[in-house]
Structure 1
Amino acid sequence: MLTTRFVDGAPNWIDVGAPDLDRARAFYGGLFGWQFQSAGPEAGGYGFFQLDGRTVAGGMPTAPEQGPPSWTVYFQSADAAATARAAEQAHGAVVVPPQDVMDAGRMAVLADRAGAPFGIWEPGRVKGVDAANEPGTLCWVELYTPDIASAAAFYHRTLGLETSAAAFPGGAYTCVNPADGGEDAMFGGFVPLASCPTEADAGPYWLPYFEVPDTDAAVSAALDLGGDVRMDATDLPGVGRVARLADPSGARFTVITSVAPQQP
């Protein structure tokens, strides 16, 4: 389960890049009830989305040369520079070299073997998001990749992640967890890119999931706020009701109303 008891290799931060940050602020504010707080004049427009006074994500304005609007998932590292070297040695790439973010921490943006970008956050003053796995917050992440075995090898070498197979209607699902937490710390999964034809043209990517009280209501709200539906609301037995959406600039994410875990 994704929590704020962060361990190395687990997601600990997330942010969205948008060409029109004011529009993104209005969209996510209307959808999740988030409020935006600027990180200050020295932060280049970067700021924090907050829910009930707790930081749940970051946001920043982006230019066309920085790539398409998207969410970036960051994983905890005790040493961002060492993780960047490990990614290169595992045949990935360093997109943004490790750098200090004032006294908040140290970050880098890397890409895996297939080109899927992801972030690294080495905590300083800011350990990570303040809330997870509750309504309006990050609760799961998925990597859409053309080669699950290759991705598993890359992330094991780079972040120490472990994978396991879980039975799923129609086949098996590849789950992922940090080495230190074991399967109880499972936070996401790997999905064949070809299984999602509507998204495959954009290439490999990490997709964040946000918990919501009512998936259908969230879909309706997203449309009213200028967003788009990439996959209609669907029930996944034993998991919950999910829908894949995009904000007004095209940044993709999923909303889910999770079912309560069955008691043994």
Structure 2
Amino acid sequence: MSQRDNTQQEGATQVAPYRFALCVEYAGGNYRGWQIQPEHNVPTIQAEVEAALSKIANEPVSVVCAGRTDAGVSGTYQIIHFDTYAKRDVRGWVMGTNTKLPDDIAIKWAKPVDATFHARFSALERRYRYLIYSAKVKPAVLNKGVTWTYKSLNVDAMREAVQHLIGKHDFTSYRAVGCQAKSPVRDVREFNVYREGDLIVLDVRANAFLHHMIRNFAGVLMTIGAGEAEPVWAKEVLEAQDRRLGGVTAPPFGLYFVDVKYPAEYELPVSDLGPYFLSC
């Protein structure tokens, strides 16, 4: 009996498909974002992951992710789920799928979950890190892994500024004009700024994020860090509720999706945050 026949026979007796949660890590520099764009012939993370999983499952596989990332954005803890009638062990989903993926995408782990788990709607909060390389000379090795500025940035001023952004606010000024979210209100639960050598890290936790929200945070904070605006400007932009007053949107390079929290009942592996070259 062929593998396809075996899978179909199992599917005939299986009342409901198996559901798996997977953790995907990817370097986004070579992709036009997470989501498949059928109207455009462009490479996306989702397309690569679905194609690889479909080969291992020997049937079409569609995935749902915790948070769609933009072109150039990377992920160290992107959580997805998918349903399948194919019976494979965890090692098969991880090691097998990785043999079908390009070098800049990897499955970190897989775990069977019940039908109540949803990668997007079960998520309680999400976390991003934005890495700014502040040095006189541009980086070569991480040119698509950090955002470079030749300016010297004042981390203390940036720390003062982020205090105005913590809490539940209307973030209209910090979202893209074309953002499709129904509400601009988000709850920023923690926002830290710290330095590791020439790297400045913006580390943000929130219940959810708006389109370009982190990159617009970064644009404002880099302006403040460079001494071109006072820390209170972050508050003034917030209260204006007008994207036109929010300054430039920082580049996507250097933005990492690093964590998603789910109810403890699902017992998903804990994120090591990342990216791997940060010490904490």
The TM-score, its normalising length taken from structure 2, stands at: 0.26
Q: So what's the TM-score if we normalise by structure 1?
A: 0.27
Which protein has the bigger helix share?
Answer: 2
**Greater strand content:** 1
